[in-house]
Chains A and B, each alone.
Chain A
Amino acid sequence: MKCKIQKTLLQNMLAKVQGFTEKKSTLPILSHILLEISGDSLQVKATDLHTSIQVNSPCEVIQTGACAINGKSFYDIIRELPEQMVEFWVDDGSHAHIIAENNRIKMNVMDAQEYPMVEFMDMDHGYSVDLSIMKPMIERTIFSIPSSSESDSKYTLGGVLLTSGRDETGKGYIEMVSTDTRRLSVVRYYTGEHIDMGGGIIVPRKGLQELKRLMDNKEEGSRVLLTRDSIFYTSPDTLATVRLIDGKFPDYQSVVSPEAFPITTRINAQELHSVLKVCAAMVSDISNCVRFSFHKDRTIVFASNPDQGEVETPIPSVLHGDELDINFNPRYFMDCLSFIEGETEIHLKGSQGPCMITDSGITESKWVIMPMRF
């Protein structure tokens, strides 16, 4: 195989696929990417068997062929090359040669036959969701996926639950849900029609991160397709898929039921957010605990650190229900307040019960946060 390709073009392709390889696997082939030259283009594929991607780019094809090469090393080397045409070929043995200006590089390759098949099936039956919907839905849930080290054994919490249903009026919706058992994020999008996602399936965190990264590129003509076993991302030159997994997710409906929260306060989200940032700086790593005192006409936020000092800031707010004091990890609040503009509603139950923050726009978001106790 042999081709010539613009360095920047190649680098961009490699950048896109980096996150899809599996660096820690015991299978060395999974840390590799597949390069295929055919027709008039170069195709780069990467997979960790759960998330897969292929990227196409036109190039000057001299000889068709395929090889597997270490994804990270190849990318690291290409990045350092001058902004020029890069010549790439694989010899009869097991080496790839890269020539760019005076650089003469030889890299080990593996047999393309050994590379796992990347399949992109069932795309025709998917439900298409606009990126302007999908991206915020991911952003608003991904942060409350527990880090893998603390993942629960009873439930599959290492991803976002993707589910669908109908509300009381029969309107169809899709919902994305994540929880680390201390807080819960639920984002709903009304699709109008009913989308059958089965019993609900889980999108692994890694797949979400990669999808989000692809969406950040804001490529023209890109779209997201949901099916019952995969999520697809397509753009004119890229096709990515995240395989969904079956798992047990906690029954979250009762936790977000509005009846569970008899107390409500209205408060400016940005103002609260900036006050909490100050508090978080004061209590960082000591207790991570901030006291909220909800009064009829104001909310007093108080944080103290015996070694540093304390912060006490009142914020105007309007309370319906009993006044109360309650402690929270300020970061859990900041994580969701950052998405809200203007006023928000904080729904409360009592000083040891959950609290729910809501935001509605194109999507409906609910974040439930459990308090801290002394």
Chain B
Amino acid sequence: MENIRKIIHIDMDAFYASVEQRDNPRLRGRPVIVGGDPAGRGVVAACSYEARKFGVHSAMPSSRAKRLCPEAIFIHPRFDVYQQVSQQIMEIFHEYTDLVEPLSLDEAFLDVTCNKKGIASATETARRLRAEIRKNTSLTASAGVSYNKFLAKAASDYRKPDGLTVITPEQAQGFIDQLPIGKFFGVGKVTEQKMRSLGITCGAELRQVPQERLVRLFGKMGLFFHSIAHGIDERPVTPDRIRKSLGREITLHEDIDDMDAIFALLSELADSVGSLLKEEGLKGRTVVLKLKYHDFQSITRSITLDHRLDNAEEILDKALLLLKETEAGTRKVRLLGITVSNFELPGDGPPRPYQLLLPFCDVTEQKEKTGAYSPSMLQP
């Protein structure tokens, strides 16, 4: 028994949309969509449960969401506000345990096996966490409680919104067996299709597949699928994950080959990555450009510099340089992403010097071009 961990996964309910409804009473009870302008090419970043009833979901083009739900209220995201609320929630978590692993602004794993409040029951801990989040932020969260990350996350998803689901070791296999294959950790759209074409539609069926076969079909992930199908997931909750890279990407609702539009999007991405780097106080030596062509072929191009950077302009410069090594412009593109990595890590010994650049003062007249594209196109 002593080896059984107590893991909680907390997931805020329709986070961005709920924050908007909280701050603006007129939005309450109405379909709210946070994201890009439906007249433009933006996408849905988040939507309220009222909007979900119409079939609206995140990452969907805003224009399509508008067609599905004409009375929806579209709102531009206010990331600074979400960030603040997220900070508040993380602080609550840290009152209970330092083993907090944030997955995004509105989602985290907590290992409460030994918690600061000395609460024996993980279910009780989750109940209190949810109550405190509601009290401090007026927002609701769903929680999943189990003995590993996979089950905790699957559990929090089970009864949304405002739900609390506990999966005990005794219940685990039954829960896994009925779980649709798409809900398994690491199974995205493509893998799900592949699984279904192999006749694997739920946990029970996944469990029947021999390990070797899964490895043959899915490589390393096959091993992992085999384990979680049997309720085994040893991944620890790692607090303050050392960030190895920081990036942003955007899926376009319409495949594009217009270089001006691509430039504008990269410029937005670079701005966004640059300010995130500055926020986190990180500088990286490697800039990676990711591109997905219309046929879903995904490529990356990277450049490693002899100095670390965090400013948007330089990131954009390098991204444009890398863009030349792609077929953008001739082949249509459906996704663009910029990532900066190769940070200075705490274990790297004394700080390495970096080279300063000459202060040429030129106006980048190309900046104006980006006006037509709103930052809301960037998916959170």
Contacts and interface: CB of A to CB of B under 8 A. Distances in A.
B354 interface: yes
Interface string A174-196: 00000101111000000000000
A371 B356 contact: yes
Contacts of B357: 181-182, 370
Contacts of A372: 353-356
B317 A352 contact: no
A370 B317 contact: no
A153 B320 contact: yes
Interface string A247-265: 0001110110000000000
B359 A354 contact: yes
Contacts of B320: 153
Q: Which size bracket describes the interface of A in this complex? A: 20 to 34
A254 B356 contact: no
Nearest to B350: A306
A329 B360 contact: no
B209 interface: no
Contacts of B303: 149-150
B360 A373 contact: no
Contact of A327 (B324, B353, B358): B353
Contact of B356 (A252, A255, A370): A370
Contacts of B351: 374
A125 interface: no
Nearest to A352: B356
Interface in B334-379: 349-362, 364
Interface string B309-343: 00000000110110010000000000000000000
A154 interface: yes
Contacts of A150: 303, 305
Contacts of B360: 181, 250-252, 255
Given A150-B305, A306-B349, A306-B350, A181 B321 contact: no
A6 interface: no
B238 to A, nearest CB: 29
Choose among A154, A179, A182 the residue with the greatest number of B CB atoms under 10 Å from its CB.
Answer: A154
Contact of B358 (A149, A352, A370, A373): A370
A63 interface: no
Interface residues of B, number: 22
Contacts of B305: 150
A270 to B, nearest CB: 25
A374 B353 contact: yes
A251 B362 contact: yes
Contacts of A327: 353
B362 A373 contact: no
A151 B354 contact: no
B302 to A, nearest CB: 12
A144 B349 CA distance: 31
Q: Which of B350, B352, B355, B357 has the most chain A CB atoms closer than 10 A to its own CB?
A: B355
A179 B358 contact: yes
B361 A181 contact: no
Interface in A267-308: 287, 289, 306
Given A150-B305, A182-B358, A287 B352 contact: yes
A372 B352 CA distance: 10
Q: Which of A149, A153, A252 has the most CB of B within 10 A?
A: A153
A182 B321 contact: no
Interface in B100-148: none
Contacts of A374: 351-354
Nearest to B357: A181
Nearest to A250: B360
B355 A370 contact: yes
B317 A152 contact: yes
A153 B353 contact: no
A88 to B, nearest CB: 42
A184 B354 contact: no
Nearest to B364: A154
Contacts of A35: none
A329 B364 CA distance: 29
Contacts of B354: 372-374
A42 interface: no
A182 B359 contact: no
Given A151-B321, A153-B317, A153-B320, A255 B358 contact: yes
A368 B360 CA distance: 12
B317 A255 contact: no
A374 to B, nearest CB: 5
22 contacts: A151-B321, A153-B320, A153-B321, A153-B324, A154-B317, A181-B357, A182-B355, A182-B356, A250-B362, A251-B361, A251-B362, A254-B361, A255-B359, A255-B360, A289-B353, A306-B349, A327-B353, A352-B356, A370-B355, A372-B356, A373-B354, A373-B356
Across the A-B interface, give the 9 residue pairs with the lowest CB-CB distance, nearest first: A250-B360, A372-B353, A289-B353, A370-B356, A153-B320, A153-B321, A181-B357, A374-B351, A374-B353
